[in-house]
């Protein structure tokens, strides 16, 4: 016969599960996360490039020069010589203009606009008692070319003699801008002294 406390006994000793072993909830979550992780890794692998890795190339000298000078490249030797000769002619013309008291002396190696500016500058020198100017030294800096225009950095040392006999010496940095005329020759378009107070900015 069954004991009278059979229900209590069954609760304390449950019969074995006839449906097989059960998977706990924690194990199910772990397996799910593992499956998701495998999928993510597989997707990431398929996104990697399959071709050869491209190595960065060094810039060519011309490209490096263009970057350093805002689009210009260092002029070759014949061009540098031609530009230097043009600038010397401009300096010599100023010396002659002051010596002959002719501020409007025309400069063949300059544009009409630069001739006008130079004439005004020469007149200012004469009006302030300058009787003589001399170019003592030229130090050539970088000369760059960009198509039909060029820039030259030049350090010039000048002396000015006043009508009272006083002599003043100065060394200035000049930034010359040159262009080609209709004949293909270089001519001076502008001359800026960037280190002087109130000078316009240079490119």
The fraction of the chain above a pLDDT of 90, given in percent, is 61
**Which of the four pLDDT bands, split at 50, 70 and 90, describes residue 27?**
low
pLDDT per residue over 66-76, tens digit each? 333 446 999 99
pTM of structure: 0.64
Burial class (CB within 10 angstroms; exposed 0-12, middle 13-18, buried 19+) of 121: middle
For residue 41 the two structure tokens come to 């890794």
Residue 186 is inside which H or E element, if any? strand 186-192
Q: Helix, strand or coil for residue 8? A: helix
Q: What is the pLDDT of residues 111-159, one digit of tens each?
A: 999 999 999 999 999 999 999 999 999 999 999 999 999 999 999 999 9
Its sign, for the CA torsion 112, 117, 118, 119, is: positive
């Amino acid at each position: 016969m069954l004991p009278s406390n059979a229900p209590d006994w069954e609760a304390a000793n449950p019969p074995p599960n006839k449906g097989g072993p059960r998977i706990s909830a924690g194990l199910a979550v772990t397996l799910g996360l593992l499956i998701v992780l495998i999928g993510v890794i597989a997707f990431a692998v398929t996104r990697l490039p399959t071709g050869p890795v491209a190595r960065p190339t060094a810039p060519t000298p011309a490209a490096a020069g263009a970057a350093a000078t805002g689009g210009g490249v260092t002029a070759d030797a014949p061009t540098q010589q031609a530009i230097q000769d043009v600038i010397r002619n401009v300096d010599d013309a100023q010396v002659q203009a002051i010596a002959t008291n002719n501020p409007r002396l025309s400069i063949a190696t300059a544009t009409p606009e630069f001739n006008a500016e130079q004439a005004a500058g020469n007149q200012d020198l004469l009006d302030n008692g300058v009787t003589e100017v001399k170019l003592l030294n030229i130090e050539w800096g970088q000369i760059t070319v960009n198509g039909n225009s060029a820039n030259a950095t030049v350090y010039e040392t000048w002396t000015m003699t006043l009508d009272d006999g006083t002599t003043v010496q100065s060394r200035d940095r000049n930034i010359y801008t040159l262009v080609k005329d209709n004949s293909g020759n270089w001519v001076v378009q502008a001359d800026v002294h960037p280190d002087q107070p109130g000078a316009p900015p240079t490119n």
